[in-house]
C-alpha cells in the first residue's frame, strides 16, 4: 500500500476510471428519475382507469427499459476497476467500502431485478395493483442502489465509523450506522438523486415538446409535460436546499475543495460569493493564484452560506496550504511531516512486534494513533500537491448552478403555458426544451466534477492520495483498456440514442407495445 508508482500510471488509471464513471452517469440519472415518473403515471392510470394514462405509462416505460439495460453494463465495469486498477485502495479500506456495495447487491439490486420483469412483462398477466406495486418497487430498488453507492462515495469524502488496524495495515469498520447516517452521506444521496430526478423531468418535458413541435399526440404530450414539470419543480426546490447544505458540509470537512470552488486564494471575513466570474488566462498552472478578469459578487454571502454567519472567516487556498496561525489552521507542510511520522511509526510498530519488543510496540502505536489523521499527507512531497485544479472546479460549479436555475425557469414556463392553454403556439419554447435535454446531462456531470476533481489529490480525504491507491500494473495495459472502454462505451451510448430515437419517432401507440 505504501509503494508509489509513476505519474503516468496514476494519470491513466484515473483517466480510465473517470471515463467509465462519466459514461455510467450518462445512464444513471434517467434511471433514477424516470422510474418514479413512470410510477406516478401508472398510479394515475390505476386511479382513473383511463387508457390514455396506460398508453403514456407504457411509452415512457419503454424508454426507461432501454436506458436501464445499457446502464447496468457500465456499472459492473466500474466496480471491477476497484480491484483491477485500484487494488491498494481496495486493500486499505475494502472492509468499509465493500460493505455498502455488498448491501447494494444483496438488497437493492435484488429488488429492482426481481420486479423489473413484472413491470415490463406483467401487463394483463397480473392485477393492476400488483403491477403498480412492481413498478414502485423497481423505482425504489433503483434508488436504493444509488443510496449504497453514494454512501460508499461519501465515506471517501468524509471517513467515519472506522479504525486503523496496524497489524493488517487496513481500515476496519467499527460502526456501520455512522457510515450510513453521516451528514455527508445523507446529504449527498439526497442531492445526487434529486439531480437525477431533474434530468428525467427535463428529458420527459423535452421529448414531449418534440411531439408538440411536430403536432403529434397532443394530449399525450400535454399530460406528460404536466407530470414532468410538476415533478421537476418540486424536486428543484429540494435540490436548492440540499445544495445549500452541501456547501456548509464542504466548508467544514473539505475546506480546500470549498476554497477551490470559489477561487478564494486569501481567506477573509465577510467573504463575498462570486456569482459570475472569468479567470484570467495568465498561462500559469491551477496551483498558482488565479486572478479574476471579471466578476460579479454578493457581499458577505459566502461567509453566510458556509457558516451561517456573515462575519465568519472563510479560509482560502493560501491559508489551507501555507497555514494561518491566527485562525488555528495547520499548514499542509506540517501535516506532511506528521503524516511521515505516522508512516514511520507504522514501520517501527511492525519491527518492534516482530522483535517481540512490547515497549517499542506500545510507543510506536501511540505515535501512530496521535498522527494517523494526517497519514495520507505523508505520501506527498510538497504542500502544492494538496491544491486541486482550481479553474475546472470553479467553472464546473457555476455551470451546474446556472443550468439548475434554467431548468426551474423551464418548468415554470411549461406550467404557465399549460394553465393558460397557450402552449401549442410556443414553438420557441419547444426548441428550448429539446435543447435542454443534453444540458441537463451536462449539469449533472458538472456536479460530479466539483465533487471528484475538487477533492484531489485524495482518494480518501486526508488518508490516501491517488498515488498510493493505484495497482502495480503495466501502464500499457491501462492505455489499451482505456481505448477499448472508450470505443465500447461510445458505441453503447450511440446504440441507446438510436434505439430511443426510433421508439420516440414511433410514438406512444407503437412505443408502448411491450
Whether 387 is covered by a domain: the verdict is no
Residues 296 and 181 occupy one common structural domain = no
Main-chain phi, psi angles of 460, to 5 degrees: -120, 125
Whether 358 is covered by a domain: the verdict is yes
Residues 132 and 167 occupy one common structural domain = yes
Question: Could you report the per-residue pLDDT of 217-270, keeping only the tens digit for each?
Answer: 999 999 999 999 999 999 999 999 999 999 999 999 999 999 999 999 999 999
By mean pLDDT, which of 28-42, 269-283, 363-377, 477-491 is the weakest? Answer: 269-283
Q: How far is CA 285 from each of CA 263, 290, 382, 392, 497, rounded to the nearest angstrom?
A: 13, 9, 15, 12, 38
Whether 1 is covered by a domain: the verdict is no
pLDDT for res 222: 95
Check if the beta carbon of residue 93 is closer than 8 Å to that of residue 460.
yes
Domain boundary among 327, 345, 363: 327
Give the C-alpha separation, 11 to 467, whole Å.
Answer: 9
- Candidates 184, 210, 259; CA nearest to 460 is 184
Residues 199 and 298 occupy one common structural domain = no
Domain boundary among 327, 349, 367: 327
* pLDDT-based confidence at residue 6 (cuts at 50, 70, 90): low
* pLDDT-based confidence at residue 509 (cuts at 50, 70, 90): confident
pLDDT for res 435: 97
Residues 168 and 285 occupy one common structural domain = no
In this prediction, residues 167-188 reach a mean pLDDT of: 94
* pLDDT-based confidence at residue 5 (cuts at 50, 70, 90): low
In this prediction, residues 186-194 reach a mean pLDDT of: 96
Give the C-alpha separation, 157 to 371, whole Å.
Answer: 19
Give the C-alpha separation, 398 to 402, whole Å.
Answer: 6
Residues 430 and 448 occupy one common structural domain = yes
Residues 433 and 497 occupy one common structural domain = yes
Check if the beta carbon of residue 21 is closer than 8 Å to that of residue 28.
no
Residues 86 and 145 occupy one common structural domain = yes
Give the C-alpha separation, 372 to 246, whole Å.
Answer: 26
Residues 91 and 234 occupy one common structural domain = yes
Helix ranges restricted to H, 372-389: none
In this prediction, residues 447-459 reach a mean pLDDT of: 94
In this prediction, residues 280-303 reach a mean pLDDT of: 78
Whether 175 is covered by a domain: the verdict is yes
pLDDT for res 106: 75
Domain boundary among 318, 351, 379: 379
Residues 295 and 354 occupy one common structural domain = no
Whether 385 is covered by a domain: the verdict is no
Residues 310 and 421 occupy one common structural domain = no
Residues 242 and 271 occupy one common structural domain = no
* pLDDT-based confidence at residue 423 (cuts at 50, 70, 90): confident
* pLDDT of 82 over the 80 cut: yes
In this prediction, residues 98-110 reach a mean pLDDT of: 79
Check if the beta carbon of residue 298 is closer than 8 Å to that of residue 270.
no
Whether 122 is covered by a domain: the verdict is yes
Residues 83 and 156 occupy one common structural domain = yes
Whether 443 is covered by a domain: the verdict is yes
* pLDDT-based confidence at residue 3 (cuts at 50, 70, 90): low
Question: Could you report the per-residue pLDDT of 137-159, keeping only the tens digit for each?
Answer: 999 999 998 999 999 999 999 99
Q: Give the residue numbers spanning the domain of 147.
A: 7-254+392-511
In this prediction, residues 31-51 reach a mean pLDDT of: 95
Count: domains in the chain = 3
Q: What is the mean pLDDT of the chain?
A: 91
Give the C-alpha separation, 403 to 436, whole Å.
Answer: 9
Whether 259 is covered by a domain: the verdict is no
pLDDT for res 99: 85
Q: Which three cell numbers stand for residue 288?
A: 498558482
Amino acid at each position: 500500500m505504501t509503494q508509489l508508482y509513476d505519474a503516468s500510471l496514476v494519470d491513466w488509471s484515473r483517466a480510465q476510471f473517470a471515463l467509465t464513471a462519466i459514461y455510467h452517469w450518462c445512464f444513471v440519472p434517467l434511471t433514477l428519475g424516470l422510474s418514479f415518473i413512470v410510477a406516478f403515471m401508472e398510479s394515475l392510470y390505476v386511479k382513473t382507469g383511463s387508457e390514455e394514462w396506460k398508453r403514456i405509462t407504457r411509452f415512457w416505460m419503454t424508454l426507461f427499459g432501454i436506458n436501464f439495460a445499457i446502464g447496468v453494463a457500465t456499472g459492473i465495469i466500474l466496480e471491477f476497476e476497484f480491484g483491477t486498477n485500484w487494488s491498494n485502495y481496495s486493500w486499505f479500506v475494502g472492509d468499509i467500502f465493500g460493505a455498502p456495495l455488498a448491501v447494494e447487491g444483496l438488497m437493492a439490486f435484488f429488488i429492482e431485478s426481481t420486479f423489473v420483469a413484472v413491470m415490463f412483462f406483467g401487463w394483463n398477466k397480473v392485477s393492476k395493483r400488483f403491477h403498480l406495486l412492481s413498478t414502485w418497487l423497481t423505482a425504489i430498488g433503483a434508488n436504493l442502489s444509488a443510496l449504497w453507492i453514494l454512501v460508499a462515495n461519501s465515506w471517501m469524502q468524509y471517513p467515519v465509523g472506522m479504525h486503523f488496524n496496524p497489524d493488517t495495515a487496513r481500515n476496519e469498520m467499527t460502526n456501520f450506522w455512522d457510515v450510513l447516517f453521516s451528514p455527508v452521506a445523507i446529504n449527498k444521496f439526497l442531492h445526487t438523486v434529486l439531480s437525477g430526478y431533474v434530468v428525467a423531468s427535463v428529458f420527459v418535458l423535452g421529448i414531449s415538446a418534440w411531439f408538440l413541435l411536430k403536432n403529434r399526440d397532443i394530449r399525450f404530450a400535454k399530460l406528460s409535460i404536466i407530470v414532468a414539470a410538476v415533478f421537476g419543480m418540486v424536486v428543484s426546490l429540494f435540490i436548492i436546499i440540499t445544495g445549500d447544505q452541501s456547501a456548509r458540509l464542504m466548508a467544514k470537512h473539505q475546506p480546500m475543495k470549498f476554497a477551490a470552488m470559489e477561487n478564494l486564494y486569501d481567506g477573509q471575513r465577510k467573504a463575498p460569493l462570486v456569482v459570475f466570474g472569468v479567470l484570467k488566462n495568465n498561462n500559469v498552472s491551477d496551483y498558482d493564484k488565479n486572478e479574476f478578469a471579471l466578476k460579479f459578487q454578493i457581499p458577505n454571502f459566502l461567509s453566510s452560506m458556509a457558516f451561517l454567519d456573515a462575519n465568519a472567516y472563510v479560509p482560502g487556498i493560501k491559508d489551507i496550504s501555507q497555514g494561518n496561525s491566527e485562525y488555528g489552521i495547520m499548514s499542509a507542510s506540517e501535516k506532511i511531516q506528521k503524516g511521515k511520522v505516522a508512516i514511520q511509526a507504522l514501520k517501527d510498530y511492525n519491527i518492534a512486534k516482530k522483535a517481540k519488543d512490547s515497549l517499542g510496540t506500545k510507543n510506536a502505536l501511540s505515535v501512530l494513533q496521535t498522527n494517523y489523521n494526517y497519514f495520507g499527507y505523508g505520501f506527498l512531497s510538497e504542500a502544492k500537491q494538496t491544491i486541486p485544479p482550481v479553474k475546472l472546479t470553479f467553472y464546473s460549479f457555476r455551470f451546474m448552478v446556472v443550468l439548475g436555475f434554467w431548468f426551474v425557469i423551464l418548468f415554470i414556463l411549461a406550467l404557465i403555458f399549460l394553465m393558460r392553454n397557450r402552449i401549442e403556439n410556443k414553438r420557441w419554447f419547444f426548441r428550448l426544451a429539446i435543447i435542454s435535454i443534453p444540458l441537463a446531462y451536462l449539469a449533472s456531470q458538472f456536479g460530479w466534477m466539483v465533487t471528484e476533481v475538487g477533492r484531489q489529490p485524495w482518494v480518501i480525504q486526508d488518508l490516501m492520495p491517488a498515488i498510493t491507491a493505484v495497482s502495480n500494473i503495466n501502464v500499457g495495459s491501462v492505455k489499451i483498456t482505456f481505448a477499448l472502454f472508450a470505443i465500447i462505451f461510445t458505441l453503447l451510448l450511440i446504440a441507446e440514442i438510436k434505439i430511443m430515437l426510433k421508439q420516440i419517432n414511433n410514438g406512444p401507440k407503437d412505443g408502448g407495445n411491450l
